[in-house]
Amino acid sequence: MKNSLMNKIVIVDYGLGNIRSIKHKLEKYNYTVSLSNKANEIESADLLILPGVGNFKVGMENIQNLDLITCLNNAVLKKKKPIIGICLGMQLMTSYSEEGDCAGLNWVNARTKKFFFEDSKLKIPNVGWRTNELLKPNNYFNQIPKDKYFYFTHSYYVDCKEKEDVIAQSYYGNKFTSVFQKDNIFGVQFHPEKSHLNGFRLLLNFMEKNL
């Protein structure tokens, strides 16, 4: 169902992330999207997007300083609003990150770890187009051909502790969780808004299935 004026999509603006890009692209598809760091707007959203590019510790500090932890917990854990975390946004949903030795939002039983390779032929950050292997069927990947690559750019990766939360994995030196889902919480390490139209289809599917 296309979004009507009744449906509110809110991109959480905590100072990190390519939010304009996501907003404009969704608006081209007739969605009404706002950027916000206000508690009442976040709690009353119908769908949330947690973007993010940058430093985990800085991200968590910004969220704390903006006093967003309570309203995010309310919206996501209590009211079960659908939320998609992208890249750093996905990592913030975990319990802890080695980047800054810092606690996360702790919504998903997972930790964020630094890539490290003995054989330093593999450079860090992991930048580029990588495979995304679906480990179980997932509606958000409808109409996306299986062999499509997605764009990743990160120095830290998510290590999911609960197998049932892992939807897809990617590979860079080692396998790592590229997509997790726990109830209304959905996280992707890659950038769907930067992975060609197939990638954007994922975002559109997330909108369509939740609104």
Partner 1 sequence: MIRKRIIPVLLLKNNGLYKGVGYDKYVYIGDPINAVKIFNDMEVDELIFLDIEASKNNKVISQEFVEKLSEECFMPFSVGGGIKSLKDAKKLISAGAEKIVLNNWAINQPELITEISNSFGSQSIVVAVDTKKNWLGKQKVYSLSGKKSTNLNLEEWIMEIEKRGAGEILINSIEMDGKMNGYNTDIINRAAKSVNIPVIAGCGAGAVSHFKKAFEIGADACAAGSMFVFHGARKGVLINYPSKEEIENIYT
Catalog residues that contact partner 1 under the rule CB under 8 A. Answer: 16, 18-21, 24-25, 28, 53-55, 58, 88, 120, 122-125, 127-130, 149, 151, 153-155, 172, 191, 193-197, 199-200
Compute the C-alpha angle 103/108/109, nearest 5°: 80
Helix axes 19-28, 196-210, angle to 10 degrees: 70
| Residue number with CB closer to partner 1 (16 or 42) | 16
Distance CA 75, CA 102 (A): 23
Please indicate whether residue 99 is annotated as part of the active site.
no
187, 90 contact by CB (below 8 A): yes
Distance CA 91, CA 112 (A): 6
Q: Which of 43, 71, 87, 99 is flagged as catalytic?
A: 87
Beta-strand runs (E) in the chain? 9-12, 33-36, 47-50, 83-86, 96-97, 102-103, 110-114, 126-130, 133-134, 150-154, 156-160, 166-172, 174-182, 185-188
CB of 125 to partner 1, least distance (A): 5
Residues in the chain, how many?
Answer: 211
Distance of CA 23 to the CA centre of its chain: 15
Q: Smallest distance from the beta carbon of 184 to partner 1, in angstroms?
A: 27
87 given a catalytic annotation: yes
Which residue lies nearer to partner 1 by CB, 150 or 185?
150
Nearer to partner 1, 24 or 209 (CB): 24
Query: Which residue, 123 or 161, is less far from partner 1 as judged by CB?
Result: 123
Considering the candidates 71, 154, 160, 193, report the single residue annotated as catalytic.
193
Under DSSP, the state recorded for 23 is H
Catalytic annotation present for 193: yes
The smaller minimum CB distance to partner 1, of residues 186 and 190, is found at 190
Nearest approach, Cβ of 192 to partner 1 (angstroms)? Answer: 10
**Catalytic site residues?**
87, 191, 193
